[in-house]
Amino acid sequence: MTAADTSDKAVVLSAHERDEIDSWLARYPADQRQSALLGALRAVMHEDHYLSVPKMDAVATYLGLPPIAVYEVASFYSMFETDERAAARHSISVCTNISCMLSGADDILAHIEKKLGVRLGESTPDHKFYLKREEECLAACCGAPMMQVNHVYYTELTPEKVDSILDGLE
Amino acid sequence: MSDELVSFEVNGQTLQARPGSMLIAATDAAGITVPRFCYHKKLSVAANCRMCLVEVEKAPKPMPACATPIMAGMKVWTNSPKARAAQKDVMEFLLINHPLDCPICDQGGECELQDLSVGFGNSTSEYVEIKRVVRDKDIGPLIETAMTRCIHCTRCVRFGEEIAGMRELGATGRSQYTEIGTYVAKTVTSELSGNIIDVCPVGALTAKPSRYTARPWELRSYDSIAPHDCVGSNIHVHTARGKVVRVVPRENEAINECWISDRDRFSYEGLHSQERLLKPQIKRDGHWKKVSWQEALDAVSSILRKQLAFNVAAFAGPSSTLEEFFLFQKLLRALNIKNIDHRLRQVDFSDQAFVPSGLGVSFTELEQQQAIFLIGANPRHDQPMLNYRLRKASLAGAKVLALTPRKLAFNYTAEQIVAAPLAMVTELAVLVKAALEAASQAAPTVLADLLASVEISDTAKSQVENFKAPNSLILLGQMAVQHPAFSSLRSLATVLAQATGAKLGYLPEANSLAANLVGVLPHRGLAGEAIAAPGLPVSAALDDKNLTTVVLMNAELDDFANPQQVLKALRAAKNVIVFAPFADTQARDYATVLLPTSTFVETSGTLINAEGLWQSFKGVVNPPGEVRPLWKVLRVLGNALNLPDFDYVETSEIVAELKLELQAVPLTAMGQLSAPLVVAKQDANTMQRIGDVPLYRTDALVRRAKSLQAMLASPVVRMHLADMERLGIVAGDLVRLGQGDSYVQLPAEADEAVPKGCVWVQSATEVARALGAAFGSIMVDKG
Ligand code: SF4
Ligand code: FES
Ligand code: FES
C-alpha cells in the first residue's frame, strides 16, 4: 500500500566496497552490524569521494539499518562528504586556527585559492581538488602553518612548498 | 535493579524508590516538580536537554534528575539556589536559538517550553547575536514542522525507534548544524506517527490538519472511544465553537497507554465531509426529495411493513455501536426479518455455528506471550495499537510467526510463511501435521485426506515447537476471516491449538464482537440464541431472488467483500433504506431512502474491544443539520412500527439490560468443520486476488478523512516479476483486471512480496468497487 510495505532497493555497492564492508563486519559480533558503519562509509568515500544518498541507502540495506541511521553518522563526521560538489580526488584542508593563522595560514589559503581558481568550500571543475572548509585545529600547531591533503599532513608550508605538493599529485 | 525500596530525601522529604531507578520518576510519583524536556516516561533516557538539573549532596555539579539513579540515603534538592541557578542557565541556553514566535505558534498555550520559561526564564535575554534558522521540512500531510523551534530533545526520534518501531526521523549534522528530520525529502509513514506531535515539547511538530484552527485555551475536551478498530483506544475529542478540531490520546495504561494510531487521531476530518447527509431524503421518480423525519420514518415503516420478511435483507457495518446493533436486530427480528448480518467482508460461512470470540487474552497479557502465530493478520494496519503490544512481546523475546498471502512489513522480528491465498490452507496443514506428530495425536477424520497430502518439513517442526511454550497464542486476523476458505483455516487452527496447547483468538473487525454478542447474524439472536429457520448470510442474501428490500446501517459498498455483487443486488432491489452519516454518488444512486444518522462523536454508545471490554462514551458535539443519533432513530422507528419494548430513554438503559443478558454468550475462537477439508484448485487461466483493506479505507469516516487519504498511495496492481514477464508486462504498464462482468485498469508494479500467481489489488478503494471478491480469482492481462 505505502512504499514502506515493499522496500526493494537496488543494491549499488561495488564488489570492492562489499569486500571492504565484509572485512569490517568480520570484526564484530554478528548481531552488531551497525558497528561496521564507519568502515562502510569510508569504503564508499574511497571509491566515490563522497556519499550519495543511493549509496548510503545501499549501505543501510547491506547492514540492515534504517537509512536515517546512516545519514546521521554520515552528516556528523566532517571526514565524510555528503555533497556531490565536494567529490574530488584530493581533498585539501588548510588549517586557519590560531597557531597556523599567526604563522601565515591566510596567505597559504589565498595562494591555493588563486592557484586552483576556486574558493574555500569549492572543488575544481575537473574534480581533481576540493578545498575543504576544515573543522580546525588539526593538531599540528608545532609545524604551523599546515595543511592536510587526503590523509597526509604537510607542515611548515610556504607557497613554493604548496606548489610542489599539489603539482606532484595525480 | 533490585525490588527492595530504599529511602532517600528530596527537599527534606523522605521518599522511597527502587535503587537504580531514576530520580525523576520518583519525584514525579511524589508530585515534586522537576522541569524537563527530553525525559518522557515511555521513552529511553537521553539526558540531553539538561533542564532537569538538581542539586545532589556530595555531587560537585548539579545532576540531571532523569539520569541520576537513586541510591539509599541520597539527599536531593530540586529547588535549592544551586538547582534553580542551573535550571535557569539551561533555560537561557535553550532560548538562545528558539524563535520568539509563540503568538503564531500552534503549540502556544500548551507548550512545555513556554510554560517552563515562565518559571525558569528571564524576561530579557542577554543574547544579541544572530539566532539560527532551520528550514522546515515537509514530512507529509499529517505533521506540520517548524524546525527552527526544535530544541533537539530527540523525543520524536526515540519515539520512532522505540515505540513506532520504525526509525524515520533522526538528528543529522552536528553542533549548531544539528537538525531533526528525515534528511531526504520523505513522508513519515508510521501508522503511529501522530504521537510525535504530542511528545514534542515545543511547536516544532504540530498537527497539520488542525493547523491554525483554534488556540488550546479555546478548546473543550471530551472523553471518547475510538471506533475504528477492535482496540477501542481512549481519546480526548477537542472541540472549538461546537466543532471537532482534533483528537488526542487519553491515557489508559491497559489499552492504549498514552498513544493512539494516526487513524484514530485524524479520522475526525471525515466529519466535515461534503458527503455528509444533513436531512432525511426520499427518492421519488428518480429524484431526491428532502423530507421531514416524520415523513421519512413513516415511509420506512410502511416499506418494512409491506414487505414479506424473506424479501428483506439487513446489513450493519462493523463500526456501529453495541446499542445500534442491538436495536437494529431487535427491530428487524420483531418484524420476523431473518437475513441480518454484519459480516460484510466475510465470504465463507460454512462453520458459522461457532460464533467467533475476541482475543481471548487482555492487551497486557499479549505482551507476555512467548509465541504468537498470526494467521492472515496484518495487525500493523488493522489494529495499530494492538500491534504495538505484539511488538513489545517480540522485543521481550516472543517468537512471532505469520502465515500471510503477501509478505508484510512487520516492525519487529517475525518469521513469515508467504503463500497464495489458496495455498495458505496447505501451508497451515503442514504445521498441523507437524504438531499432531509432535503430540503423537491422530488426525481428526475430516483432516485425514488433507494431511495425507502434505509433508512435514523441518522448518514446520521447529515452528511448531515454539508453540509448546506455556504462553502461546494463535490469532486469526482479518485476511483469514475474509478468506474464501476461512472455515478450513479455522478448523486447522483449532486442531493446531489443541495439539500444541496454544490459545486461539481473533482479531475482530472494529466493534464486530458486539454484533456477534447481540446477534446481528442470520442464525443467532441476542446472546447467541439459535434462530429456528435461520436467515441467509450476507452473500447468499444478496444473491437471493426474493430480495426486494435492503436495509443498510453504517454500510456502503466499500464495506463489503464483493462490491460488484452488492451493487448489482442494490440496483435490482426496489427499496434500499440507508441509515448512515454519509452518502456518496453511488449510494445516492442505489438508495431509495436516506436517513442522516450520527457518527461516534454525535451519539452516546458502547464499543466492545477485542479483550471483551465494554467502553461507553457520550456524545461530544450536537449532530449537524437534522442528523439524529442512530440509536434514537431506531427507537423511534420501533415505536412507529408499534413494536413492543422500544422505549429506552438513554443508551445506558440498553447497556444495563444487555450486561445481564450477554454474560454467558457461547462465543468461541474454535471452529470445526464436519465435512472433510479440501483445498480449492486455482483455475489456470486466472490469478488469485489478494484484496486486503488499506490502512485508511476501513470505515466510512476514515475514508472521508482528507489527510489520511493523502497518505495512501494511488492504487496499483502489484505482482511478482515472474508473472509480469509471463504476461509481457513491464512496470508502469496498464493492466486489465477482470472479475465477474466488469474490469478495471491499473498500472502494474513488480513486487517480490506478492506470491507468484497472485495479484495484490486492495479492496475498499474507489476502483475496486467495480471488482468482485476481495480474495477471489481474477483475470489479468495486458491492458
Ligand atoms: S522536533 Fe520536537 S520532539 Fe523532535 S527533537 Fe525537536 S523538540 Fe524534540
Ligand atoms: S592551529 Fe593549525 S594545527 Fe593547530
Ligand atoms: S529531562 Fe533530564 S536532561 Fe532532559
DSSP-derived 3-state class of residue B198 = helix
Rounded average pLDDT over B486-513: 95
Tens of pLDDT, residues B53-90 = 999 999 999 999 999 999 999 999 999 999 999 999 99
Angle at B220 between CA B216 and CA B225, to 5 degrees: 110
What is the pLDDT, as a whole number, of residue A11?
Answer: 57
> Is any Cβ of chain A less than 8 angstroms from the Cβ of B384?
no
- Phi, psi of B609, deg, nearest 5: -90, 180
Query: Taking all residues of chain B, what is their mean pLDDT, rounded to a whole number?
Result: 95
pLDDT confidence bin for A4, thresholds 50/70/90: very low
Residue A57 sits in the same domain as residue A93 = no
> Counting ligands in written order, which one lies closest to the CA of residue A99?
2
CATH code assigned to B102-272: 3.30.70.20
Rounded average pLDDT over A149-155: 94
Task: Tell me the three-class secondary structure of B252-311, residue by residue.
Answer: ECCCCECCCCHHHHHHHHHHHCCCECCCCEEEECCEEEECCHHHHHHHHHHHHHHCCHHH
Rounded average pLDDT over B543-563: 97
* Of the candidate ranges B319-328, B371-380, B674-683, B766-775, the one whose mean pLDDT is the lowest: B674-683
> Is any Cβ of chain B less than 8 angstroms from the Cβ of A126?
no
CA of B37, closest atom in ligand 1: 8
Give the residue from A26, A51, A76 where a domain finishes: A76
β-bridge mates for residue B628, sequence order: B597
In a domain, A32, yes or no: yes
User: How many CB atoms lie under 10 A from the CB of residue B613?
Assistant: 16
Give B53 Cα–ligand 3 centroid separation in angstroms: 7
Give the residue from A76, A96, A130 where a domain finishes: A76
> Is any Cβ of chain B less than 8 angstroms from the Cβ of A164?
no
> Is any Cβ of chain B less than 8 angstroms from the Cβ of A167?
no
Question: Which of B44, B97, B155, B158 is the best mutation target for the ligand 1 pocket, counting ligand atoms within 8 Å of the beta carbon and taking the most?
Answer: B155
Residue A119 sits in the same domain as residue A56 = no
User: Which residue in B299, B310, B312, B309 sits closest to B594, CA to CA?
Assistant: B299
Q: Determine whether the shortest distance from the Cβ of B155 to ligand 1 is under 6 A.
A: yes
Q: Domain extents for chain B?
A: 6-96, 102-272, 281-349+515-662, 363-506, 686-782
CATH fold, domain B686-782, is: Barwin-like endoglucanases (2.40.40)
Tens of pLDDT, residues B524-546 = 999 889 999 999 999 999 999 99
- Which ranges constitute the DSSP H helices of B177-259? 195-199
Distance between CA atoms of residues B175 and B318, nearest Å? 52
Long-range Cβ pairs for the range A84-88 (8 Å, 24+): A84/A50, A84/A52, A85/A122, A85/A123, A86/A49, A86/A50, A86/A123, A86/A130, A86/A132, A87/A48, A87/A49, A87/A50, A87/A123, A87/A127, A87/A130, A88/A49, A88/A123, A88/A124, A88/A127, A88/A128, A88/A129, A88/A130
Asked whether residue A146 carries a pLDDT value surpassing 70, the answer given is yes
In a domain, A93, yes or no: yes
Which chain A residues have a beta carbon less than 8 Å from that of B167? 66, 68-69
Q: Determine whether the shortest distance from the Cβ of B139 to ligand 1 is under 6 A.
A: no
Rounded average pLDDT over B685-712: 96
Q: Determine whether the shortest distance from the Cβ of B36 to ligand 3 is under 6 A.
A: yes
What is the pLDDT, as a whole number, of residue B680?
Answer: 84
Give B127 Cα–ligand 1 centroid separation in angstroms: 23
Residue A15 sits in the same domain as residue A59 = yes
Residue A118 sits in the same domain as residue A153 = yes
Distance between CA atoms of residues B529 and B666, nearest Å? 9
B299: amino acid identity, one letter? A
Smallest CA–CA distance, residue A101 to chain B, in Å, is 24
Which carries the bigger pLDDT value, residue B677 or residue B563?
A: B563
A155: amino acid identity, one letter? T
In a domain, A81, yes or no: no
> Which CATH number does the domain B363-506 belong to among 3.40.50.300, 3.40.228.10, 3.40.50.150, 3.90.190.10?
3.40.228.10
Q: Tally the domains of chain A.
A: 2
In a domain, A134, yes or no: yes
> Which CATH number does the domain B6-96 belong to among 1.25.40.10, 3.10.20.740, 3.50.30.60, 3.30.9.40?
3.10.20.740
Residue A121 sits in the same domain as residue A154 = yes
User: How many CB atoms lie under 10 A from the CB of residue A122?
Assistant: 18
pLDDT confidence bin for B130, thresholds 50/70/90: very high
Check which CATH number belongs to the domain holding A14 and give it. 1.10.10
Rounded average pLDDT over B155-159: 98
In a domain, A153, yes or no: yes
Tens of pLDDT, residues B194-205 = 999 999 999 999
Residue A98 sits in the same domain as residue A57 = no
Burial of B21 (0-12, 13-18, 19+ CB in 10 A): middle
Question: Which of B40, B66, B93, B120 is the best mutation target for the ligand 3 pocket, counting ligand atoms within 8 Å of the beta carbon and taking the most?
Answer: B66
In a domain, A82, yes or no: no
What is the pLDDT, as a whole number, of residue A7?
Answer: 42
Q: Determine whether the shortest distance from the Cβ of B52 to ligand 3 is under 6 A.
A: yes
For residue A91, what is the DSSP state? E
Q: What range defines the domain where residue A23 resides? A: 3-76
CA of B199, closest atom in ligand 1: 3
What is the pLDDT, as a whole number, of residue B78?
Answer: 97
Distance between CA atoms of residues B742 and B770, nearest Å? 6
Greatest pairwise CA separation for chain A in angstroms? 63
Rounded average pLDDT over B769-780: 95
In a domain, A83, yes or no: no
DSSP-derived 3-state class of residue B359 = coil
Query: Taking all residues of chain A, what is their mean pLDDT, rounded to a whole number?
Result: 91
Give the residue from A76, A106, A128 where a domain finishes: A76
**Quick one: how far is CA B276 from the chain centroid?**
23
Check which CATH number belongs to the domain holding A103 and give it. 3.40.30.10
B344: amino acid identity, one letter? L
Asked whether residue B238 carries a pLDDT value surpassing 60, the answer given is yes
Tens of pLDDT, residues B501-520 = 999 999 999 999 999 999 99
Which chain B residues have a beta carbon less than 8 Å from that of A7? 409
B75: amino acid identity, one letter? K
Tens of pLDDT, residues A74-105 = 999 988 999 998 999 999 999 999 999 999 99
Rounded average pLDDT over A150-162: 95
Element (H, E) at B174: none
Q: Determine whether the shortest distance from the Cβ of B38 to ligand 3 is under 6 A.
A: yes
| Cβ-defined contact of B184 to A71 (cutoff 8 Å) | yes
> Counting ligands in written order, which one lies closest to the CA of residue A97?
2
> Is any Cβ of chain B less than 8 angstroms from the Cβ of A75?
yes
What is the pLDDT, as a whole number, of residue B685?
Answer: 85
Rounded average pLDDT over A142-163: 95
Distance between CA atoms of residues B731 and B747, nearest Å? 7
CATH fold, domain B281-349+515-662, is: Rossmann fold (3.40.50)
Rounded average pLDDT over B414-441: 96
In a domain, A121, yes or no: yes
Rounded average pLDDT over B298-315: 95
Residue A53 sits in the same domain as residue A100 = no
> Is any Cβ of chain A less than 8 angstroms from the Cβ of B694?
yes
Residue A9 sits in the same domain as residue A68 = yes
> Counting ligands in written order, which one lies closest to the CA of residue B65?
3
Q: Determine whether the shortest distance from the Cβ of B37 to ligand 3 is under 6 A.
A: yes
| Cβ-defined contact of B753 to A67 (cutoff 8 Å) | no
- The order of strands in the sheet holding B371-375 is B415-418, B399-404, B371-375, B472-476, B503-506
Which chain B residues have a beta carbon less than 8 Å from that of A76? 172-174
Residue A72 sits in the same domain as residue A112 = no
> Is any Cβ of chain A less than 8 angstroms from the Cβ of B455?
no
Give A96 Cα–ligand 2 centroid separation in angstroms: 7
Asked whether residue A2 carries a pLDDT value surpassing 70, the answer given is no
Of A5, A68, A69, the CB nearest to B409: A5
Asked whether residue B733 carries a pLDDT value surpassing 50, the answer given is yes
